Structure 1
Amino acid sequence: MHTYLYTDATLATLHKADTYGLIENGVLAISGDTIVYAGPRHGLPRDLTIQGEQSLNGRLITPGLIDCHTHLIYGGSRANEFEMRLNGVSYEEISRSGAGITSTVAATRVASDSDLLKTALKRLDRLLADGVTTVEVKSGYGLDHDTEIRILRTARQLSKERPVNIITTFLGAHAVPIGLDADEYIDSICIPTLKAAAAENLVDMVDGFCENIAFTREQIERVFKTAQKLGLPVKIHAEQLSLMGGAELACQYAALSADHLEHINDAGMDAMKAAGTVAVLLPGAYFFLKETKCPPIDGFRLRKIPIALATDSNPGSSPMTSLLLAMNMGATLFNLTPLECLQGATLHAAKALGLKGIGQLVSGARADFAIWDVSHPAELTYRIGDAPLFRRIFGGVEC
């Protein structure tokens, strides 16, 4: 097959731990939707049939960014709750009053499929403008059979409307619907809906919110046992507002990731290390809710637990649609290095979704990458409110 070259570029290959893997005056060669070479010009294999090439004049190439935790599909707005918080009402108080997630649930249930798709595409387009090529999208704003299924179908539709890889996550265990007991909801609605969604091939993985305003470990475990029987990997919202041991529970089921983690303890981190579970940090929610307890970054580093970053794009606690901004927040709020931030939005984000063959610029990887109008990868974390994207390449095709 013919090969196309991107030349005169700085490559951030991320092919080794603890380094950008920078190659100056590098060449990225693609054949179809696959990278066949990433390295210095002098190492380019001579047996390639070159179809064409493009000089990038020193621009930076990174793997396509990966947003591994979003809630893109929902109806309505929660700007009024933002105002309430600024007037002194806590996030927990808002949630317990019947607002919070349940208000978005009400708006989502009455939204048409076309409206859900239209608004989600607007949010998705903003992510794509940041060089994102893979996005995880959760359900969880339906909390009934029909709406949860509609959300997941809409998520599948996103990849038909835009050149992007969409990973779907069932988050039926997101909140307790008004008028139902938590156990009743889990057993009579959440689990049956999960089974139906899996039968329709709408689910790639399963999530749950283990928190004092959501579900207990025992309730989440019932969902995870069902996921295990269905052959679906799990991840978890855990230790965001309190320590409930959700991360430890998820690790018993070989969770791909545990997300938030501001209140995780040593036992939870030890369990994550043993299970190979990625720590997904969500600085947008930390910032928006004015939290003060940071995730234990040094504990993750000490144990060499991979750290990923994501937008947590959602209407209530992180109405953010910029992964580059999440990277900047990861540095300024959590003291991550620019290298950790880039790895967190590429290589480690891919691991958090159980994906191989993306997140690095290496031979054999899928040709999902971003070309930037900068010369060094630290620029991507350093800038605020700036998306210096030159080109986004998805499956070898310029978008």
Structure 2
Amino acid sequence: MWDDLWTDARLVTMQGAGLGVIEPGAIAVKDGVTAWLGPMSGLPATGAKRRHDAGGRFILPGFVDAHTHLVFAGERIGEFERQLGGATRRELAAEGGGILFTMRETRGASEDALVASATPRLRRLMSEGVTTIEIKSGYGLDLESELRMLRAARRLGRENGVRVVTSFLGAHVIPPEYTGRSADYLDHLARTVLPAAMAEGLVDICDGGIEGLAIREEDMLRLYRAAQAAGLPIKGHTDQYGDVGGGGTLARLGALSADHLEYVSEASVIDMAKAGTVAMLLPGSTLFLNEPRRPPLEWFRRHGVEMALATNCNPGSSPTLSPLLVLALGCSFFRMTPVEALRAYTVVAAKAAGLAGRIGELRPGLPADFVLWEIGQPAELCYWLGGAPPREVVQAGLPRP
């Protein structure tokens, strides 16, 4: 007997190349896993402990927010106001602002404080249908603070009933104590910090940056290779401010995703297509920073590179807590189609999070993570600039309170 059965639904399965809509359909859950789904006409006679009438509503897989910096201490609203008045990011950094401000605040925060400050942000994301979230370290930039951030991320998942994927981003920037010593800092990460984090089971992915800035590419590659030797997949921030060939470099390393990509070259896109590396697009940053450049969607389409979307929630360049806004920006700002955008936040985002074939779809055998929406058609989720909240979110078969 099934535990729960939802009937009279319009299922958006994300199977195949499109949305994979089944209507009218039904979805059955047993032990937190999707046990059966299909058209109402083929519904087996198997009984269910609880039946739910979906009332013709659309059911989509839960959103996968696969690029966030959710755990941090300290707001940067003052910097935001100063930027509106004409201050540049370079000027703010020279005054001790930017990422280094967040680093100082985060180093001074306890694990409990980090969890307490991140919980409202996480719950806001969950309220708009997020059932899986990737959370990066990278604001501690020393052994104890990086581990504290990752412990906080794991706790957030346990305490809020949401799936959390953690990414080690110790190579976010160079901390002050290693100024001018990129090689020494990356060696420290590879030999000390990353192994310590892995020993505690705190890391799922190794992230980093290839941007031609303070961290030299050859140093970043040593950390990536150490991570891969230890069995970790990798991803990276790259080609955001100029074409440094980072998309291609990450593809040749077999990275899960290359993220940002406003200035990526077509040669790098071709390499990404060959490797199956996802293009992670972050329109919240482009909007907030008022950047004129957009990622080259026509190249991604031409060469068959899959595209993902995420909030990139962080205090400096994307203080974004709305997946629905990101979907809308992906379409109106980056000119994605609604089908591309919805797949980008579910099945393709799952691939970028290292969970391809395990979440992001409605399919028997996968966790029953799905959302019931009060919409007339799936594209409506991309139409409104921050639309209505979902009717119901189901995580591992259980409706959220």
Structure-1-length-normalised TM-score: 0.96
Aligned to 1:14: 14
Of 203-212 and 244-253, the range deviating more from structure 2: 244-253
Q: Return structure 1 stretches of 4+ with deviation > 4 angstroms.
A: none
Aligned mates of 1:374, 1:241 — CA distance in 2: 38
Of 180-189 and 283-292, the range deviating more from structure 2: 180-189
Shift of 1:96: 5.0
Task: Describe the SS at the equivalent of 2:56.
Answer: coil
Contact 1:328 1:381 in 2 (8 A): yes
Task: Describe the SS at the equivalent of 2:176.
Answer: coil
Aligned to 2:159: 161
* Aligned counterparts, 1:156-195, within 5 A: 156-180=154-178, 181-189=181-189, 191-195=191-195
Aligned mates of 1:93, 1:301 — CA distance in 2: 38
Residue identity opposite 1:339 in structure 2:
V
Aligned mates of 1:96, 1:351 — CA distance in 2: 38
Aligned to 2:54: 56
Aligned mates of 1:92, 1:271 — CA distance in 2: 32
Aligned to 1:234: 234
- Cα distance per residue 1:1-51 (max 9 Å; x no partner): 42421111111111110x2222222111111211122221011133x2322
Aligned to 2:129: 131
Shift of 1:163: 1.1
Residue identity opposite 2:342 in structure 1:
L
Aligned to 2:139: 141
Residue identity opposite 1:267 in structure 2:
A
Aligned mates of 1:306, 1:395 — CA distance in 2: 26
Contact 1:257 1:280 in 2 (8 A): yes
Structure-2-length-normalised TM-score: 0.96
Task: Describe the SS at the equivalent of 1:186.
Answer: helix
Aligned to 1:319: 319
Aligned to 1:391: 392
Aligned to 1:77: 75
**Uncovered stretches (5+) of structure 1, i.e. residues with no partner:** none
Contact 1:5 1:29 in 2 (8 A): yes
Task: Describe the SS at the equivalent of 2:64.
Answer: strand
Aligned to 1:369: 370
Aligned to 2:218: 218
Residue 35 in 1 paired to residue 34 in 2?
A: yes
Shift of 1:85: 1.9
Root mean square deviation of aligned Cα: 1.4
Of 74-83 and 289-298, the range deviating more from structure 2: 74-83
Aligned mates of 1:339, 1:92 — CA distance in 2: 38
Task: Describe the SS at the equivalent of 2:377.
Answer: coil
Residue identity opposite 2:169 in structure 1:
L
Contact 2:279 2:308 in 1 (8 A): yes
Shift of 1:93: 4.3
Aligned mates of 1:113, 1:283 — CA distance in 2: 30
**What is the percentage of aligned positions where both structures have the same residue?**
44
Contact 2:167 2:206 in 1 (8 A): yes
Aligned to 2:106: 108
**Uncovered stretches (5+) of structure 2, i.e. residues with no partner:** none
* Aligned counterparts, 1:221-370, within 5 A: 221-355=221-355, 356-370=357-371
Alignment: residue pair count? 397
Shift of 1:173: 0.3
Aligned mates of 2:376, 2:36 — CA distance in 1: 20
